[in-house]
Structure 1
Amino acid sequence: MAAFDPWDPAFVADPYPAYAGLRERGRVHYFEPTGQWLVPRHADVSALLRDRRLGRTYRHRFSHEEFGRTPPPPEHEPFHTLNDHGMLDLEPPDHTRIRRLVSKAFTPRTVERLQPYVRDLAGRLVDRLVATGGGDLLTDVAEPLPVAVIAEMLGIPESDRAPLRPWSAAICGMYELHPSEETAARAVRASVEFSDYLRGLIAARRADPGDDLVSGLIAAHDGDDDRLTEQEMISTCVLLLNAGHEATVNATVNGWHALFGNPGQLAALRADHSLVPTAVEELMRYDTPLQLFERWVLDDIEIDGTTIPRGAEIALLFGSANHDPAVFAEPGRLDLARRDNPHISFSAGLHYCIGAPLARIELAASLTALLERAPTLTLAAEPERKPTFVIRGLRGLHVEA
Structure 2
Amino acid sequence: MTLAATPLDLADPAVVADPYPTFARARAQAPVQWDAGLGMWLAFTHAEANAVLRDRRLGRIWRDKAPAERFGQFNLIHRNAILEMEPPEHTRLRRLISTAFARGHVERLRPWVQELADGLVDQLVARSGGSTPVDVLSGMSEELPVAVIAELLGVPSADRPLLRPWSNAIVKMYEYGRTTAVEDDAERAAAEFVAYLRELAAERRRTPGEDLLTHLVTVRDSEGDRLTEDELVTTCILLLNAGHEATVNVSGNGLLALLEHPAELQRLRDDPALLPTAIEELMRFDSPLQLFERTATADVEIGGVTVAQGQKIAALLGSANRDPRVFTDPDTLDVGRTDNPHISFGAGVHFCIGAPLARVELQASFGALLSRTSSLELGARPQRRPEFVMRGLADLPVVLTA
TM interval, short-chain normalised = over 0.9
Matching of residues 230-245 of structure 1 within 5 Å: 230-245=229-244
Instruction: Say if 2:39 is the partner of 1:44.
Output: no
Matching of residues 201-220 of structure 1 within 5 Å: 201-220=200-219
Contact 2:154 2:211 in 1 (8 A): yes
Q: Aligned to 1:44, what secondary structure does the other structure show?
A: helix
Contact 1:34 1:178 in 2 (8 A): no
Give 1:260's aligned amino acid. L
What residue number does 2:35 align with?
A: 31
TM-score, normalised by the number of residues in structure 2: 0.95
Contact 2:259 2:376 in 1 (8 A): no
What residue number does 1:16 align with?
A: 20
Give 1:8's aligned amino acid. D
Give, in whole Å, the separation in 2 of the partners of 1:195 and 1:320: 35
Q: Aligned to 2:194, what secondary structure does the other structure show?
A: helix
Give, in whole Å, the separation in 2 of the partners of 1:341 and 1:358: 19
Give 2:201's aligned amino acid. I
Give, in whole Å, the separation in 1 of the partners of 2:53 and 2:399: 41
Matching of residues 1-400 of structure 1 within 5 Å: 4-57=8-61, 73-107=68-102, 109-133=104-128, 134-223=133-222, 225-400=224-399
Contact 1:3 1:11 in 2 (8 A): no
C-alpha root-mean-square deviation of aligned residues, in Å? Answer: 1.5
Give the CA deviation at 1:58. 5.8
TM-score, normalised by the number of residues in structure 1: 0.95
Give the CA deviation at 1:9. 1.4
Give, in whole Å, the separation in 1 of the partners of 2:192 and 2:62: 28
Give 2:290's aligned amino acid. Q
Give, in whole Å, the separation in 2 of the partners of 1:245 and 1:126: 18
Contact 2:384 2:392 in 1 (8 A): yes
Give the CA deviation at 1:211. 0.5
Q: Aligned to 2:71, what secondary structure does the other structure show?
A: helix
Contact 2:62 2:79 in 1 (8 A): no
**The 10-residue stretch of structure 1 (125-134 or 313-322) with the greater mean CA deviation from structure 2:** 125-134
Which consecutive unaligned segments of at least 5 residues does structure 2 have?
none
Quickly say closer, same or farther: Cα 1:336–1:137, change in 2 above 3 A. same
Give 2:219's aligned amino acid. A
Contact 1:40 1:317 in 2 (8 A): yes
Give, in whole Å, the separation in 2 of the partners of 1:394 and 1:88: 25
- Between the aligned residues of both structures, percent identity stands at 53
Quickly say closer, same or farther: Cα 1:72–1:287, change in 2 above 3 A. farther
Q: Aligned to 2:161, what secondary structure does the other structure show?
A: coil
Give the CA deviation at 1:271. 1.3
Contact 2:7 2:35 in 1 (8 A): no
Which consecutive unaligned segments of at least 5 residues does structure 1 have?
65-69
Give, in whole Å, the separation in 2 of the partners of 1:176 and 1:374: 36
Aligned length: 392
Quickly say closer, same or farther: Cα 1:380–1:204, change in 2 above 3 A. same
Q: Aligned to 2:203, what secondary structure does the other structure show?
A: helix
Give, in whole Å, the separation in 2 of the partners of 1:39 and 1:73: 31
Give the CA deviation at 1:56. 0.8
Contact 1:58 1:296 in 2 (8 A): no
Give, in whole Å, the separation in 2 of the partners of 1:295 and 1:4: 18
What residue number does 1:67 align with?
A: none
Give, in whole Å, the separation in 2 of the partners of 1:304 and 1:263: 38
Give the CA deviation at 1:375. 2.2
**Per-residue displacement from partner, 1:296-322 (whole Å, max 9, x unpaired)?**
111101124322101101111000000
Contact 1:259 1:266 in 2 (8 A): yes
Contact 1:111 1:357 in 2 (8 A): yes
Give the CA deviation at 1:108. 7.0
Contact 2:82 2:235 in 1 (8 A): yes
Give, in whole Å, the separation in 2 of the partners of 1:257 and 1:301: 39
